[in-house]
Amino acid sequence: MKKLFFMLAIVMTVFLYGLDFERESTYQNACDRSDASACVALGAMYHSGDGVLQSFARAKALYTRACELGLGLGCANVGYMYENGHAGKNLSLALQWYEKACVLGDGEGCASVALMYENGIGVSEDMQKAVDYHDRACVYGIGRSCDYLALRYEQDENFVDAAIYYQRACDAGMAESCVRLAEMYYYGQGVAQNEQKAKEAFQKACDLGEQSGCKNAEIIKANHGWRAE
């Protein structure tokens, strides 16, 4: 029986190796044909050592190729490697690559630039640039950047813009932003008071796993009223 299990293990290892080789070959051929997404996929395999011998140098070269082909994710991944020391730690170069990613429409690249300016990582702290890049990231669907801006507007008591950005964050899947949006609709803070929209936002938060959203959606539905949970 042990011999049988051993032989099965060998068969599975060979089979999985074959799948990895086939996957690597498929991505490489596509990358050679200027498929930027395939270059990134192959780069990720080498970056993590997924089915191939890990090689940061190979990963960086493939991400760079994807960036050259116009895929922002490739640029962002090179930036990540420089920021985290996978290509020699260089925060100045990380910023440059993240900026390239942002120009090419990669939201995570924009958000990364925003965080570097926000926290003074590799650059002088510049809150206006941080806000500008968070705004670009929000446009590209990065929910945490939308939430960041909503909170800043709320702290400045600009509730109209706060509600706009909480809505964008909620649409991007930020459950806590949905809860705050619901509260704004319930109280008419920055938006016209609308109990139905409050319930819908609480329900969206619930669907995203936020239990307070579930409780408050049910309270409004049952009692046509609301209390904080």
User: Tens of pLDDT along 180-229?
Assistant: 999 999 999 999 999 999 999 999 999 999 999 999 999 988 876 545 44
Contact 57/91 with Cβ under 8 angstroms? no
Q: Which of 47, 124, 121, 123 is nearest to 86 (CA)?
A: 47
Predicted pLDDT of residue 72: 98
Taking 90 as the threshold, does the pLDDT of residue 54 lie above it? yes
Rounded CA-CA distance 170/152 in Å is 16
Paired tokens of 79:
């930036």
Q: Output the CA angle 193-198-204, nearest 5 degrees.
A: 155
What confidence tier does 8 reach under pLDDT thresholds 50, 70, 90?
very low
pLDDT digits (tens, 9 = 90+) for 80-102: 999 999 999 999 999 999 999 99
What are the phi and psi torsion angles at 226 (to 5°)? Answer: -150, 145
- State residue 17's pLDDT score: 40
